[in-house]
Amino acid sequence: MSARTKTAFPFLRALDLLVIPMILVGLYFAYLYAPRETTMGDVQRIFYFHVGFALNCFLAFTVVFVSSIGFLWKGGRAWDDTALAAVEVGFLYCTLVLLTGPVWARSAWGVWWTWDARLTSTLLLWLIFASYLFLRTYMAEDPRMRRYAAALGILGALNVPIVYYSVKWFNTQHPTTFITQRGKLDPQMAVSLRFCMLAVLALAVALFLKRRAIGRLEEERDRLMAAYEEGEIR
């Protein structure tokens, strides 16, 4: 096992010890510390994590964009491993956004789903990256598949600005801010939102590093397996 692999392994396991308490503190902020929102009530507390998941999902897909361009330009497994790890984290976060949003919508709007610009473009983003993961799962491992995946990753990531600005460009029901009786974001709400976003970012980094390490280790395992089989044949 390479020295880098040996030192990275305990570090990756220790990341949980940093991230899990941060999430628990985030839950405290979201559930207990932040005041009750005046119009939406308690269900608005979903947003402390919903917003964090959405922004970090955009961040993950931006990493996909950069690393996919890097792969098409320079080649190399490292770029591809980075893109795949970022897609998995971004896709997971996008799924959580699409699950938690309707829970809030059912309570606030009375419907689980509406074909609003923000919701529809987010669903489209999710579908593009679902097809990315299908492509990687069902197509044979070869350089052509990696190139197709990189192209799809770039195409999917180009949808991120459309999702982000959809609330400005189109007439949409999706809220842009939440307010209190004073008419602006309450300081306690702002602190809670910032901390939850930070906790969700820390979790995304931990998941990304773990997933990327798995890709690198699987590569090393395949190389060792090939060397072992070669030795056996001789």
CB of residue 210 to another protein, shortest distance in Å: 5
Considering only residues 15 to 34 of the shown chain, the ones binding another protein according to CB under 8 A are: 16, 27
Phi first, then psi, for residue 167 (nearest 5°) are -70, -20
The region of 61-69, 117-125, 135-143, 212-220 touching another protein under the rule CB under 8 A is 212-220
Q: Answer for the pair 83, 60: CB distance below 8 angstroms, yes or no.
A: no
Question: Which range in 41-49, 72-80, 155-163, 181-189 contacts another protein by CB under 8 A?
Answer: 41-49
Instruction: Show Cβ contacts of residue 98 under 8 Å, excluding neighbours closer than 6 positions.
Output: 122, 123, 126
The reply to whether 13 sits near another protein by the rule CB under 8 A is: yes
**SS3 category, 17:** helix
**DSSP designation for 42:** G
Residues 218, 215: Cα–Cα separation, whole Å: 5
Phi, psi of 4 (to 5 degrees): -65, -40
Distance of closest approach, residue 173 Cβ to another protein, in angstroms: 17
Taken as a whole, the chain contains a residue count of 234
Q: Which is nearer to another protein, 27 or 162 (CB)?
A: 27
Helix (H, G, I), strand (E, B) or coil at 37: strand
Task: Take residue 168 and report the two structure tokens written for it.
Answer: 């400005």
Q: Considering only the stretches 9-17, 56-64, 126-134, 182-190, report the one whose residues sit in contact with another protein under the rule CB under 8 A.
A: 9-17
Across-strand partners of 37? 41
Chosen residue from 7, 9, 39, 188 binding another protein by CB under 8 A: 9
Least separation in angstroms between residue 132's CB and another protein is 17
Q: Among residue numbers 47 through 106, which ones bind another protein (CB under 8 A)?
A: 49-50, 53, 92, 95-96, 99-100, 103-104, 106
198 near another protein (CB under 8 A): no
Closest by Cα among 210, 163, 214 to 53: 163
Binding another protein (rule: CB under 8 A), the pick from 45, 118, 136, 146 is 45
Pick 107 or 151: Cβ nearer another protein: 107
User: Contact between 193 and another protein (CB under 8 A)?
Assistant: no
Please work out, in degrees rounded to the nearest 5, the angle formed at the alpha carbon of residue 158 by the alpha carbons of 132 and 82: 50
- Residue type, position 211, single letter: R
Query: Which residues contact another protein by CB under 8 A?
Result: 1, 5, 9, 12-13, 16, 27, 40-43, 45-46, 49-50, 53, 92, 95-96, 99-100, 103-104, 106-107, 203, 207, 210-211, 213-214, 217-218, 220-221, 224-225, 227-228, 231-232
